[in-house]
Amino acid sequence: MNGTDSIRSLKGIGDKTEQIFRSAGIEMIDDLVTLYPRYYLTYEEPVSIADAQPGIRIAVCGKITNTPVYRQFKGLKITTCNIRDHSGSLGLIWYNMPYMRKQIHQGDSKIFVGTPVMKNGRLVMEHPEVFTEESYAKQREHLQPVYPLSRGLTNKMIIKAMSQTKEYMETAQEYLPDKIIERYHLQSYGKALKNVHFPIERQEVIEAKKRLIFDEFFIFLAAMRMVKEKTGVVQNQYIIRETKESRDFMEHLPFDLTNAQKCALQEMKEDLVKEEVMNRLVQGDVGSGKTILAVILLFMTVTNGYQGALMAPTEVLAVQHYETFCKLLEPYPVRIGLLTGSTKAKEKREIYQKLKDHELDLIIGTHALIQEKVEYNCLALVITDEQHRFGVKQREALYRKGLEPHVLVMSATPIPRTLALIMYGDLAISIIDELPANRLPIKNCVVNTSYRPNAYRFIEKQVQMGHQAYVICPMVEESENMEAENVTEYAKILKQNLPPSIRVECLNGRMKAVEKNRIMDEFGRGIIDVLVSTTVIEVGINVPNATVMMVENAERFGLAQLHQLRGRIGRGDSQSYCIFISGKDNDETKKRLEILNRSNDGFYIANEDLKLRGPGDFFGVRQSGMMDFVLADIYQNADLLKMAADSIELLEQEGFSFQNLQNERLKKQLELALQL
Ligand code: ADP
Ligand code: MG
């Protein structure tokens, strides 16, 4: 078996299954083996039925007390039965699994594993797994991986395919130098792969993840090195100074800049006339006003006779920036274009032509901006907003095009300084550590689910006062589809709990870009009052009229991520409120959420978050997708990030070059890391 073999070579994968895997981005064996479990199910000793609690997954051993009942209801095929043990009884229910009725019989004693929920005042276990005593003993011998699922792709399908690659995993080529593996007591790549997919116990997962997370950091940092080695020191070909127009613009800003904004701006202005090209990161907490700096710098660029570009991670954000720029620069003859994935082909071609002919001065968009076909006439400044790893990829892409503009990366992710130095080792850093003066500190509260009705009343009141609200639904670990369903369902319930005059809409990651844009546009214009959303909302969105943020299941999010979410409010001069609903009452959750309750300062929160976590906490809450890592979390795995940075340094001291790599696998990994 070869890593580049199609998954078609596996048993049980025909046309249809291949297509399903393909739409989840899995085409070759290597794609499959790097699809890591989201979490693992453990199979614990059965407990008494009387100890069952809603929402907590358990195993119970019980006797089926009736003939299973099968019925169809609203298109659902429902199988139900009851079980009993010495302590009490419990209902079981399966949806759309009609074959279950043939697999269970009155009088059978079985072990059932599942999560009980409250239904019509009674505890019922939905979709329990059924075991005999023997099969349960076998099941308990290992951990059961749960993979990220998508449309049509089930855990069973993945496990079946994965089980055929065990041997391949064990012999997968190593790409870390031996020295590093020994020094940091890492597992071999092959062993880590095998253990992450087929662990017998938690310790194996911990060891495996340590290695794989180390790899993610190592590859990221090595890619950064590679680009740096390649590009070397870049001469500044674009001297950008203040002009009459840019001074005029500064005099007519809608507000006074804060001192921190002024300082950062000053540092960048100095960069723009230096001998070397600018490479800078502006780190400013959410709402600190980074966008206006981008407007000022890009306008300066244009009035110096050059072109500028602003890149955002999502279309929604790109559209928002485009509108801000058009509004602020309206009095000036600046030609601004918008280029995203939804731009029609014909329009795209026109934009390409105009960029080439310098008929456009500014272009705003997603990473479509630096794709191969785009040619610029005189691109002097590229700014990226909230695209952290993009900084590296983008420089590589620009370099390949032979472009050497100034580069500015703007980020609201609060990273403790020690980590920032590693993540952004090659960038100069400006920090905006002050919020505009008109802001009132956000009022926070952490409450349990029984407070929900009060929260709804509160939202209602705020909307009646003319404000708007966000409600964030919990993440669904298994799949984006289920998450989408969840949000829609929640919005329905919320509607029933609010007066009909209040317009509630929902937003999720599965929606088409045009649909998302429409909803965000309507929310921005105040047509929608309450937006129910997944975390797709977290980055960059600016609707200053929104004053309430309610986060369901706050305990499932990382603190840095919660802080980002909260950053969507408190952006205007009205008092804003953040309601964290916690579904869990334990001490650890309380302690974590208390940090947010106490402080609105992102850097403080990030530091506290770091302190609260022990090293190697691989089972804790992960900040979903933050910084684009798959397994790694810079907060949680700060120790491994440092290790990876140290090893790169060690290798470099010994003359290791990331440009002329001998190891094919490492070479490929680095290329992948730099792909847009
Ligand atoms: P972020 O740093 O999170 O990207 P934005 O640039 O979106 O923040 O700014 C948030 C809001 O604050 C915007 O509505 C912006 O117009 C406003 N703003 C920015 N700077 C100032 C300032 N100095 N005084 C008052 N409001 C400001
Ligand atoms: Mg922003």
CA distance to 322, 658, 660, 671, 673, per residue, from 667 (Å): 38, 8, 9, 6, 10
Ligand nearest to the CA of 282: 1
Share of the chain above pLDDT 70, in %: 95
Q: Which atom of ligand 1 is nearest to the CA of 432?
A: 2
3-18 pLDDT tens trace: 889 999 999 999 999 9
Higher pLDDT, 225 or 416: 225
The CB of 292 under 6 Å from ligand 1? The reply is yes
The CB of 438 under 6 Å from ligand 1? The reply is yes
Ligand nearest to the CA of 285: 1
The CB of 544 under 6 Å from ligand 1? The reply is yes
Q: How far apart are the C-alpha atoms of 11 and 13, rounded to whole Å?
A: 6
Q: Which residue, by CA, sits nearest to atom 5 of ligand 1?
A: 289
3-state secondary structure of 222: helix
Q: Which residue, by CA, sits nearest to atom 25 of ligand 1?
A: 436
The CB of 513 under 6 Å from ligand 1? The reply is no
Q: What is the mean pLDDT of residues 172-176?
A: 88
Backbone angles phi, psi at 287, to 5 degrees: 80, 5
User: How confident is the model at residue 616, as a pLDDT?
Assistant: 47
The CB of 564 under 6 Å from ligand 1? The reply is no
Neighbours of 67 (CB within 10 A): 12
Q: Is the dihedral of CA 515, 517, 520, 524 positive or negative?
A: negative
Ligand 1 center–CA 531 separation, angstroms: 21
The CB of 287 under 6 Å from ligand 1? The reply is yes
Q: What is the mean pLDDT of residues 117-139?
A: 88
Higher pLDDT, 339 or 587: 339
Q: How far apart are the C-alpha atoms of 293 and 645, rounded to whole Å?
A: 31
Ligand nearest to the CA of 317: 2
- Is residue 393 over pLDDT 80? no
Q: How far apart are the C-alpha atoms of 628 and 526, rounded to whole Å?
A: 32
Higher pLDDT, 345 or 626: 345
Q: Which atom of ligand 1 is nearest to the CA of 291?
A: 6
- Is residue 495 over pLDDT 60? yes
Least confident of 34-48, 62-76, 275-289, 624-638: 624-638
Q: How far apart are the C-alpha atoms of 542 and 562, rounded to whole Å?
A: 16
Q: Which residue, by CA, sits nearest to atom 20 of ligand 1?
A: 289
Contact assessment for residue 368 and residue 340, using Cβ atoms and an 8 Å cutoff: yes
Angle of the 202-231 helix axis to the 664-674 helix axis, nearest 10: 80
Higher pLDDT, 38 or 242: 242
Q: Which residue, by CA, sits nearest to atom 18 of ligand 1?
A: 289
User: How confident is the model at residue 42, as a pLDDT?
Assistant: 82
Q: Which residue, by CA, sits nearest to atom 15 of ligand 1?
A: 289
Q: What is the mean pLDDT of residues 671-675?
A: 79
Contact assessment for residue 172 and residue 195, using Cβ atoms and an 8 Å cutoff: no
Angle of the 513-524 helix axis to the 315-328 helix axis, nearest 10: 40
**Would you place residue 672 in the very low, low, confident or very high pLDDT band (cuts 50, 70, 90)?**
confident
The CB of 258 under 6 Å from ligand 1? The reply is yes
Which residue's structure tokens are 């009736």?
Answer: 66
Which residue's structure tokens are 């079985």?
Answer: 110
Q: How far apart are the C-alpha atoms of 217 and 422, rounded to whole Å?
A: 10
User: How confident is the model at residue 624, as a pLDDT?
Assistant: 53
User: How confident is the model at residue 621, as a pLDDT?
Assistant: 56
Mean pLDDT in the chain? 88
- Is residue 183 over pLDDT 90? yes
228-253 pLDDT tens trace: 888 788 899 999 999 999 999 999 99
Ligand nearest to the CA of 543: 1
Ligand 1 center–CA 320 separation, angstroms: 13
Ligand 2 center–CA 286 separation, angstroms: 7
Q: Which residue, by CA, sits nearest to atom 24 of ligand 1?
A: 436
- Is residue 53 over pLDDT 50? yes
User: How confident is the model at residue 537, as a pLDDT?
Assistant: 77
Higher pLDDT, 154 or 465: 465
pTM of the predicted structure, to 2 decimals: 0.79
Q: How far apart are the C-alpha atoms of 6 and 405, rounded to whole Å?
A: 40
534-561 pLDDT tens trace: 887 777 788 999 999 999 988 888 888 8
The CB of 191 under 6 Å from ligand 1? The reply is no
Share of the chain above pLDDT 90, in %: 54
Contact assessment for residue 300 and residue 242, using Cβ atoms and an 8 Å cutoff: yes
- Is residue 148 over pLDDT 70? yes
Surrounding ion ligand 2 within 5 Å at CB are 540
**Element at 429 (helix H, strand E):** strand 428-432
Q: Which atom of ligand 1 is nearest to the CA of 542?
A: 7
Ligand 2 center–CA 285 separation, angstroms: 9
User: How confident is the model at residue 391, as a pLDDT?
Assistant: 63
Q: Which residues pair with 379 in a beta bridge?
A: 307
Higher pLDDT, 627 or 308: 308
**Would you place residue 227 in the very low, low, confident or very high pLDDT band (cuts 50, 70, 90)?**
confident
User: How confident is the model at residue 249, as a pLDDT?
Assistant: 97
User: How confident is the model at residue 480, as a pLDDT?
Assistant: 58
Ligand 1 center–CA 588 separation, angstroms: 34
- Is residue 585 over pLDDT 80? no
402-461 pLDDT tens trace: 889 999 999 887 777 778 888 877 788 898 988 898 889 999 999 988 899 999 999 999
The CB of 301 under 6 Å from ligand 1? The reply is no
Mutate to test the pocket of ligand 1, among 542, 576, 603 (most ligand atoms within 8 A of CB): 542
Find all residues with CB under 8 Å of 137, minimum gap 6, and list them: none
Higher pLDDT, 186 or 127: 186
- Is residue 618 over pLDDT 60? no
Ligand nearest to the CA of 287: 1
User: How confident is the model at residue 663, as a pLDDT?
Assistant: 80
Q: Which residue, by CA, sits nearest to atom 22 of ligand 1?
A: 436
Q: Which residue, by CA, sits nearest to atom 9 of ligand 1?
A: 289
User: How confident is the model at residue 6, as a pLDDT?
Assistant: 94
Give the 3-state DSSP-derived string for 519-569, with helices as H, strands as E and coil as C: HHHHHHCCCCCEEEECHHHCCCCCCCCEEEEEECCHHHCCHHHHHHHHCCC
Q: What is the mean pLDDT of residues 46-61?
A: 89
Q: How far apart are the C-alpha atoms of 506 and 528, rounded to whole Å?
A: 10
The CB of 571 under 6 Å from ligand 1? The reply is yes
Q: Give the distance between the most distant pair of CA atoms in the chain.
A: 89
Least confident of 213-217, 604-608, 641-645: 604-608
The CB of 542 under 6 Å from ligand 1? The reply is yes
Ligand nearest to the CA of 310: 2
End-to-end CA distance of the chain: 29
Q: Which atom of ligand 1 is nearest to the CA of 255?
A: 24
Region at 340 (left for phi over 0; alpha for psi -120 to 50; beta for the rest): beta
User: How confident is the model at residue 626, as a pLDDT?
Assistant: 55
Ligand nearest to the CA of 312: 2
